[in-house]
Structures are given as structure tokens and as C-alpha cells.
Structure 1
């Protein structure tokens, strides 16, 4: 330790026992949930006004910025969490960037103005550059990897800022290009340098905790249905049904996500990229579900300018996406062909509930419960597991 209280940013032991999320990581997650909550709220409001397709696209774009910054910090922390004062301060700077990004979510999703979100995003990413430069100075073994990360992140941030100067309407094509460049930085840095040492149990826990927090937003949406029902007595019965169905869906998705261990799916760089990147769909779907429940509540009160089928889709699509994503990432290797087919068929059946919008939410809840039963039965029957 130096005289100013800094530790050498050496890699953490990937086999370290009892490694768990730190209080700083938990606080970091809570700050990100603020941004996710703002995105979900705006998704609900825009969908309720009848602009579903534009709402989904805007949500997907904003959610990428939130998720990507969270992902990069989480994977960095599992390898190089020194927890000294400079590490903490740098992390707080990233949190400040999240709050700036959250402040601009409404303008980005309703007006297509990404100025404030880009500023917040760049603050988060440049703080990440500072962390990688510390690694480059402290750990000769990982210097090449760290410098590749730092250079790659800086170059892409310059391009994000440059996007703001493009003519109006250019975001539609510039955003996907910049997203592609962002997601290429880790495989280039890790693939051409020394691969950073991940603690697989720790990273799986980090993903699980974030999933819990995002799913919790769905419980809030269900609670709002009950609150609205009490305020509007003439809609009490239908809103209680919506609330109950929402609770069953959220509880079922939680059960599905945690039905199998996930750390063993992070074996090497390709599998880590699949696991890490694939969770975008898990998190985005979980974040969109509360908006769908709120849309259903608004529709029941006659406040949503949507068809019944579209209202049903705002819940059914996120649920089906969540199930299919976690099935592909974590469930599939543990199930036999028959059980895999059953889970996929039930997930597709969730999408099919859009064709019966009057009972879609209840049917979705029943199907999610059915998937839980399938996974529990498959877990207990001998000979149903297979090794990938």
C-alpha cells in the first residue's frame, strides 16, 4: 500500500472462496435501477399513447446504454476490485453518470434528443477508462489487455459525442453502428491480450441480483394495480385480477431464472460473451414487463389508446422473450430434448395469448406457472439431465 492509501490493482483470485457482491456493487445496482425505472415509466407512457413501435425502439436504445455500462463495471469488478478510496471515488463518478443519463431518458424516448444521455454515458465510460489505466500501471501481465480496453472505449466515446453533431434523423443508423463498436471492444481486448480472471460464481451472482431488482419493478406495477383498484371501486375486480396475474408472472419468472445454477456457463471467452451479452434480452424484457402491466391497468381504466391485442402484447412479448433468453443461456444444457421442446412450446404459447386479448394476462400467468412446473419435474426425474 502506498502512502496515499492506494492498493496495487492486482487481479482478484478467480477461485477465491465466499466471494460475494460488495456493498459498493449493491449500491451501484440500485443507482442503475433508477435509470431502468425511468426507462420503463416512459415506455409505459408512450405505449399508452398508442406509439408502441417507436416506444419499443427508444426503450431498446436507452436500455442498451444502461445495461452496457452496468455490464462493463460488473465484469471489471469481478477481476480487479481493489476497494480502495480511488476505486470507490471512480465508481461514484460512474454512478453520477448514471443519474445524468437517467435525467435525459424522457427527452431521448419522447423527442429523440440523446444529448443528456450521451453526456451521462460518456462520463460512465471514461471513468471505466481510468480504472483500466490503473490496471495497466499496476499489472504488467494484463497491461496489453487493459490498454486495448482503454483505447477502444475512448475511441467509441469520441464517436458517441460526434453522433450528437450529425443531422437530425441520423441517430437511426448511427446508433446501431456505435453499439456494434462498443460490443466489439471486449472480444478484441480480451482475445488479443491476456484474458482477465473472472470469478464465475461472483459474476453469476451479480447478474442474478440485477435480475431480482429489475423484476421487483414488476411487483411495484402489480401493487399500483391494487392501489388504482381501491381508488376506482368500479374497476376493483378486474384490477385485482390484473394484480394477481402480474404477481404470478413475476414470481414465475423469478422461479425460472433461479431454477438452475448459471456460473458453470462461463467457461471461456466465447461462453462469457454469450452469457454476458445474452443477458441484455433477459434484463430488457424484465425491465419492460412493469410497463406492460401498467399499460394493462391503463387500458382497464380506459386511458390507453391501444387495441386489446396490443395491450396483451405489451406483457406477452417481454415474458416470452425473458423465458426464451434464459432458456437459451442457462436452462437448455440441463434439460433433455423433450423437456427443452416443452419449455419452448410454452414460451411460444405465451406469445399466442395475444390472439385472445381478453384473457391474455391470466393465460400468460398460467403458462408461466406451467413452465415452472415443467422445470421442477425435470429437475426431479432421473435421467432427464444431459451434459452439454
Structure 2
């Protein structure tokens, strides 16, 4: 240890026993949930106005910036978290970037103005560049990998800033290209040099904890339905059904996600990339569900400019996407062929329930519960 309290940023032991999320990582997650909550709130507002397609596109874009910054920090921390004062300060800088990004979620989703979101995003990414520079200085083994990250991230951030100089309509075409290059950076850095020493159990726990927090937003939305119902006795019955259905759905999604161990799916670079990137759909679906519940509340009060089928879709589609994503990432290998078919059929039935919007919520809740039963029965009869 040096006189100023810094340590060399060497790699963590990927086989370290009893590795758990640190208090700093947990605080980091909570800050990100602020941005997720703002995105879900704006998704609800835009969907209620009847602009479903534009709401989904803007939400997907904004959520990428939130998710990608969280993902990159989490995988970095599982490999190089040394928890000295400079590491903490640079992590707090990333948190500050999250709060700036959160402030720009509304303008981005409502007006198509991504300036504040890009500023917050670039702050987060450049703070991580500083961490990678420390790795390059401290570890000869991982220096090449770290420098690949430094160069890749920095170059793309320059283009993000340059994008702000373009007209708004041009930004809509440039942003997906930059997203593509962002996604390529870890593939390029990890495959060209030494693969970073991630801790399988630790990173699986990090994903699980973030899933818990995002699903918690659905419980808040269900509670809001009850509160609204108590204020207006005329709509009490439907809102209580909505709250109960929302609770069953959230509990079922939690059960489905945690029904199998997931660390075993993080073996080599390819499986780690599939696991990490595939969770975009898990997180995005979980984050969109509370917006769907709030849309249903607004529709019950006659405040949503949407058809009944569209209201049903705001809940059924995120639920089906969540189940399909976690099935593909973690459940499918552990199930027999028959069980896999049943899960897929039940997931498709969730989407089909949109055709009968009057009972779609109840049907979705019952179908999610049925998937839970299938998984529990399959656990009693493991495949060979």
C-alpha cells in the first residue's frame, strides 16, 4: 500500500469463496433504479397518450444506456474491485453520471432530446475508463485487455458527443450504430487479449439482485392500484383485481427467475456474453411491467387513450418477454423436452391472451403461476 492509501489494481481471485456483493455495489444498484423508475414512469405516460410504438422505441434506447453502464461496471467490479478510496470515488462519479442521465430521461422519451442522457452516459463511461487505466498500470497480465477497453470506450464516447451536433432526426439513425459499437467493445477487448477473471457466483448474484430491485417496481405499481382504489370506491373492485393480478405476476416472475442456479451458465467468454447481453431483455421487461400496470390503472379510470387490447399488451408483452428470456438463458438446459415445450406454449398463451383483453390480466397471472408449477414439478424429476 502506498502513502496515499492506494493499492495496485490487481485481479480478484475468480475462485474466491463466499464472494458476495459489496455495500458499494448495492448502493450503485439503487442509484440505477432511480433512472429505471424514471424511464418506467415516462413509458407509462407516453403509452397512456396512445403512442405505444414511439414509447417502446424511446424506452428501449434510454434503457440501453442505463443497462449498459450498469453491466460494464458490474463485470469490471467482479474482476478488479480493490475498494480503496480512489476506486470508491470513481464509482461515485459513475453514480453522479447516473443521476444526470436520470434527469434527462423525461426530455429524451417525451421530446426526443438526448443531450442530458448522453452527457450523463459519457460521464459514467469515462469514469470507467479511469478504472481501466488503473488496471493497465497495475497488472501486466491484463494490460492489453485494459488498453483495448480504454481505447474502445473513449473513441465511442467521442462519437456520442459528436452526435449531439447533428439534427434530432439524424441522431435517431446514428444512435443505433453507436449502440452496436458499444456492444462490440467487450467482444473485441476480451477476445483479442487476456480474458478478465470474472467470478461466476458473484456476477450471477449481481444480476439476481438487480432483477429483484427492478421487479420491486412492479410491487410498487400494484400497491398504487390499491391506494387509488381506496380513493375511488367506484373502481375499487377492478383495481383490487389488478393489484392482486400484479402481485401474482411479480411473485411468479421472481419464482421463475430464481428457480434454477444461474452461475453454471457463465463458463467461457461466449457463454458470459450470451448471459450478460441476454439479460437486457430480462431487465427491460421487468422495468416495463410497472408501466403496464399503471397504464391499466389509468385505463380503468378512463384516462388512457388506448384500445383494450393495447392496454392488455402493456402487461402481457413484458411478462412473456421476461419468461422467454430467462427460459432461453437459464431454464432450457435444465428441463426435459416435454417441460420445455409446455413452458413455451404457456408463454405464447400469455401473448395470445391479448386477444381477449377483458380477461388478459387474470389469464396472464394464472399462466405465470402454471409455469411456476411446471418448473417445480420438473425439479422433482431432474433430467439425466
TM-score bucket of the superposed structures, by smaller chain:
over 0.9
Match of 1:385 in 2: 383
Match of 1:154 in 2: 154
Residues in 1 aligned to 2:175 and 2:241: alpha-carbon distance in whole angstroms? 40
Matches within 5 A, 1:314-333: 314-333=314-333
Matches within 5 A, 1:274-353: 274-353=274-353
TM-score by length of 2: 1.00
Residues in 2 aligned to 1:340 and 1:163: alpha-carbon distance in whole angstroms? 44
Instruction: Please report how far the alpha carbon of residue 171 of structure 1 lies from its aligned counterpart in structure 2 after TM superposition.
Output: 2.2
Residues in 2 aligned to 1:170 and 1:236: alpha-carbon distance in whole angstroms? 47
Instruction: Please report how far the alpha carbon of residue 322 of structure 1 lies from its aligned counterpart in structure 2 after TM superposition.
Output: 0.2
Residues in 1 aligned to 2:3 and 2:334: alpha-carbon distance in whole angstroms? 51
Match of 2:226 in 1: 226
- Residue aligned with 1:12, SS: coil
Match of 2:78 in 1: 78
Residues in 1 aligned to 2:347 and 2:170: alpha-carbon distance in whole angstroms? 36
Residues in 2 aligned to 1:170 and 1:260: alpha-carbon distance in whole angstroms? 44
CA contact (8 A) 2:112 2:168 kept: no
Instruction: Please report how far the alpha carbon of residue 166 of structure 1 lies from its aligned counterpart in structure 2 after TM superposition.
Output: 1.1
Residues in 2 aligned to 1:336 and 1:182: alpha-carbon distance in whole angstroms? 36
Greater mean deviation of Cα atoms: 162-171 or 340-349: 162-171
Render the CA deviation track for 1:4-39: whole Å, top value 9, x for unaligned: 000110000000000000000000000000000000
Residues in 1 aligned to 2:162 and 2:319: alpha-carbon distance in whole angstroms? 36
Runs of 4+ in 1 over 2 A off after TM superposition: none
Matches within 5 A, 1:1-388: 1-381=1-381, 384-386=382-384
Residues in 2 aligned to 1:339 and 1:150: alpha-carbon distance in whole angstroms? 45
Residues in 1 aligned to 2:178 and 2:208: alpha-carbon distance in whole angstroms? 28
Render the CA deviation track for 1:355-379: whole Å, top value 9, x for unaligned: 0000101100000000000000000
- Residue aligned with 1:126, SS: helix
Residues in 2 aligned to 1:86 and 1:214: alpha-carbon distance in whole angstroms? 29
Instruction: Please report how far the alpha carbon of residue 167 of structure 1 lies from its aligned counterpart in structure 2 after TM superposition.
Output: 1.9
Instruction: Please report how far the alpha carbon of residue 181 of structure 1 lies from its aligned counterpart in structure 2 after TM superposition.
Output: 0.1
What's the Cα RMSD here?
0.5
Instruction: Please report how far the alpha carbon of residue 168 of structure 1 lies from its aligned counterpart in structure 2 after TM superposition.
Output: 2.4
Residues in 2 aligned to 1:238 and 1:185: alpha-carbon distance in whole angstroms? 48
Residues in 1 aligned to 2:241 and 2:74: alpha-carbon distance in whole angstroms? 38
Residues in 1 aligned to 2:118 and 2:379: alpha-carbon distance in whole angstroms? 45
Render the CA deviation track for 1:179-218: whole Å, top value 9, x for unaligned: 1000000010000000000100000000000000000000
- Residue aligned with 1:169, SS: helix
Residues in 2 aligned to 1:106 and 1:239: alpha-carbon distance in whole angstroms? 27
Greater mean deviation of Cα atoms: 158-167 or 9-18: 158-167
Q: Structure 1: state its 5+ residue gaps.
A: none
Instruction: Please report how far the alpha carbon of residue 170 of structure 1 lies from its aligned counterpart in structure 2 after TM superposition.
Output: 1.1
Render the CA deviation track for 1:33-59: whole Å, top value 9, x for unaligned: 000000000000000010000000000
Render the CA deviation track for 1:238-278: whole Å, top value 9, x for unaligned: 10000000000000000000000000000000000000000
Q: Structure 2: state its 5+ residue gaps.
A: none
- Residue aligned with 1:104, SS: helix
Residues in 1 aligned to 2:332 and 2:66: alpha-carbon distance in whole angstroms? 28
Residues in 2 aligned to 1:328 and 1:160: alpha-carbon distance in whole angstroms? 32
Residues in 1 aligned to 2:88 and 2:97: alpha-carbon distance in whole angstroms? 14
Instruction: Please report how far the alpha carbon of residue 173 of structure 1 lies from its aligned counterpart in structure 2 after TM superposition.
Output: 1.4
Residues in 2 aligned to 1:74 and 1:347: alpha-carbon distance in whole angstroms? 30
TM-score by length of 1: 0.98
Instruction: Please report how far the alpha carbon of residue 385 of structure 1 lies from its aligned counterpart in structure 2 after TM superposition.
Output: 2.1
Q: How many matched pairs?
A: 384
Residues in 2 aligned to 1:67 and 1:363: alpha-carbon distance in whole angstroms? 30
